[in-house]
Chains A and B, each alone.
Chain A
Amino acid sequence: MPAPHPETWLRNTRAGLFCEPGGFHIDPLRAVDRAVITHAHSDHARPGHGAVLASAATLALMRARGIAGVSEQAAGWGEVVRLGEVDVSLQPAGHVLGSAQVVMEYRGSRAVVSGDYKRAADTTCDGFVPVPCDVFVTEATFGLPVFIHPPAGEEIARLLASVALFPGRTHVIGCYSLGKTQRLISLLRAAGWEAPIWLHGALVGMCDVYERLGIALGRLNQASGAARGQLAGQIVLAPPSAVADRWARRLTDPVVAVASGWMRVRQRAKQGGVELPLVISDHADWAELNATLDDVGAPEVWVTHGSEDALIHAAGLRGMRGRALRLVGYGEEEG
């Protein structure tokens, strides 16, 4: 008997991707009985599920965000867990700490759901491992050829050059609490910035979990405790929403930076009142998306969310069959 095509056992439902013979959803958009979670970003890890399978780090981050499942099971990289009639294992996705690809094998047919991923080096999480498969389910957040992320070290060098040029000003970087924050901190440390890095209160919790899980971040101070003028010449990290709001009034003549793959396009960056756009992303850029299609060698690629048209076109040029799943609800905590 030939192996069943994944489209017969993995399908798109209103709650998200559902693996029928396994009886579980992947990153479900609403509460379900059994969920496999790729990573702890709030658009992928939602509250209210029954049983949750994820990496240990993802479960720890979910607990810190107050969205634990009723029962939890942690799987190590490559460890096979039998769910229903399906063998499930997790492989690192390189997106944020704990982020995983979900590998499913059913009657000799293999599908891989990548979740969000990147291929660029990141010391705060394990790197993406390509898994050959019959169907590769990919994101396409930056699925246009205009999105090429420069080496993150170059962007950090631009930031530090700006700190040197404007020593009396606060450099405040808008970034999300999980993943981007810790990556920026580790990039700054790698570039030799040993001074305390100041955090908006909303970023502290996730940094604590990272440190507990063995990712050293150096000295971190809470920006809300800074005296007037103390933040001049300092680097402050804050959620993007706080950078343009009243909270930012404690900063000294701030240089507003935002670290995101979207900063590659100037008009996008200009709209946000950004003075220093930094192209640093936790998603694959166009080159990485294409390289990954080559690496997994799947005859078929399904695109969950993002700019699917261009990536499906590029897959077609390679002789791969592409299909848009148009999953809505992802991409709210992106960049």
Chain B
Amino acid sequence: MIAFAALLERLLFAQARGAKLALLRQYFAATPDPDRGIGLAALTGDLNFVAAKAGLIRELAAERTDPVLFALSYDFVGDLAETVALMWPARPGNETAPRLGEVEQTLRNAKKGEVKAILAAWLDASDASVRLALLKLITGGLRVGVSARLAMAALAEMSEGRASIAEIEETWHAVAPPYDSLFAWIEGRGPRPSAGAAPVFRPLMLAHPLEEADIAALDPAAIRAEWKWDGIRVQLAAGPGGRRLFSRGAEDISAGFPEIIEAMEFHGTLDGELLVMRDGAAAPCAELQQRLGRKAVTAKMQRDLPVAVCLYDMLFDGAEDLRPLPFDARRARLEAWYGATRPARMQLSEMIAFPDLAHLAGLRDGARAAGIEGLMLKRGDSPYEGGRTKGLWWKWKRDPLSVDAVLMYAQRGHGKRSSFYSDFTFGVWRADGALVPIGKAYFGFTDAELAFLDKYVRDNTVQRFGPVREVAPGLVLEIAFDAAQASPRHKSGVALRFPRISRIRTDKPAAEADRLDSLLRLTSA
């Protein structure tokens, strides 16, 4: 548990992806089985044992610390688990800190009433760093910013070419903590674990943005076009071994969408877009957001936010792998299967007929309906390849909307940007003459522009609030964004989707920046 605690501490403070990968790699390489596998499961949220509630930690604190000192300390630290971890009175003895595997096994077999005494003994044997890791682990709140995909990327690096991320993703749902067979494969000591009949994730095929230069080279006859829906990309995998709904990051999100699982009465693997749909029309993505990240879902949510899948592709039909087939052939299989089974809560992605690219460009510009981001173009002869292969699929998003806003606040960035003011909050003028913030952007600018903005912020600061500087309203920024949505949570009443700084308008006086009412007219809801 000592190595795991040290890992958590460093991950919590690491900003860059590369740093997190290096930390994970080192941990997996230096930690023996089964501890590292339990560590991996803890990071990816795949551990299952009797968890403790905050009340239990409070009880322990009350038994072992002075109430006045505890209250003063909790007040200062502000986090229950951390307060207890830091002030737990040491009881030097012969015991050493428990191993992670031991913690998992003991808690898995423990009865509820036993947890407190077990935990107290572990806390006695540990230092503050291990105590904190223990308390966070059993209350289920590691929060160190590691996704399953990042952990898999670390494993792929560690395998020295034996396993790609894609292969690890496909294998992931066939293995379980403590992942002995997975590590054996990664380290070249064993075969790749087989999924058997269990439904597994297949890496998704992704598209490149269509560049001006690509357009000229496109042969309209070789290209198929579909709408690019603004939901979340999902994979539906079902068969005799079970049914699973995966996000594009290989996360198993089945529990949040039981009605989709129920409708998956097929054997195969499908690719599609999960959308909130009412009477055949897609709702804005913001509605779907409310259903994400949940372990369970209420009947009310299922009723108010009904979901369906718009099907793009078919990867497996039964056990047959269709991925090497050209897109047209896969589409024919998908249509045939759909026609024969008419599955509930699913519809086919519409194939858009077009005589030439000019016609398509017109469709793309008109694509302002809720739930549509633009067009997808796919070569009719493209096999289904996991990852982002060049020259097969393109996303052709409609042009962004834009607004001229005034820079209001700036905050320092992280990592490489920690010495720059690189997070910018901007606003537009309200009818009463007040400047109201409408969003925040931290990309879209070049290094030279960032240097300019950083200097501008330093030279024009009027107030500081901790790390944030308020800037005199004088600089106009052209903000590009994909959509504007009405939002009661924002002071301005509007929230921008994917805002980025497209231009610095030193030529434009702040007073001539856009008005809030004109922005509100662009909102889609």
Contact = CB atoms under 8 A, between A and B. Distances in A.
A153 to B, nearest CB: 14
B77 A269 contact: no
13 contacts: A146-B76, A150-B128, A158-B6, A244-B418, A265-B77, A266-B82, A269-B13, A273-B412, A275-B14, A276-B13, A310-B68, A310-B69, A314-B69
Interface of A: 144-148, 150, 158, 162, 165-166, 244-249, 253, 255-256, 264-267, 269-271, 273-277, 307, 309-310, 313-314, 317
A270 B419 contact: no
A256 B466 CA distance: 19
A246 B454 CA distance: 10
Contacts of B147: none
Interface in B1-52: 6, 10, 12-16, 19, 22-23, 26
Contact of A264 (B23, B26, B72, B86): B86
Contacts of B69: 144-145, 310, 313-314
Interface of B: 6, 10, 12-16, 19, 22-23, 26, 65-66, 68-69, 72-73, 76-79, 82-83, 86-87, 127-128, 412, 414, 416, 418-419, 466-467
Nearest to B455: A246
B410 to A, nearest CB: 14
A165 B22 contact: yes
Contacts of A162: 10
Nearest to A309: B72
B419 A245 contact: yes
Given A165-B23, A244-B418, A276 B72 contact: no
B22 A275 contact: no
A325 B212 CA distance: 72
Contacts of B26: 165
B451 to A, nearest CB: 10
A145 B22 contact: no
Contacts of B66: 313, 317
A265 B419 contact: no
B411 to A, nearest CB: 11
A277 to B, nearest CB: 7
A267 B79 contact: yes
A275 B13 contact: yes
Contacts of A144: 69, 72-73, 76, 87
Contacts of A313: 66, 68-69, 72
A255 B19 CA distance: 9
Contacts of A246: 419
A248 B418 contact: yes
A273 B422 CA distance: 14
A278 to B, nearest CB: 11
Contacts of A253: 16, 416
Contacts of A269: 13
Contacts of B82: 265-267
B128 A274 contact: no
Given A245-B419, A276-B10, A310-B69, A148 B86 contact: yes
Contacts of A245: 419
Contacts of B12: 266, 270
A275 B9 CA distance: 10
Nearest to B89: A145
A256 B414 CA distance: 11
A309 B71 CA distance: 11
Nearest to B23: A165
Lowest 9 CB-CB distances: which A-B pairs, in order?
A146-B86, A145-B87, A310-B72, A146-B73, A146-B87, A275-B13, A248-B419, A313-B68, A144-B73
A44 B78 CA distance: 31
Contacts of B15: 273, 275
Nearest to A279: B128
Contacts of B86: 145-148, 264-265
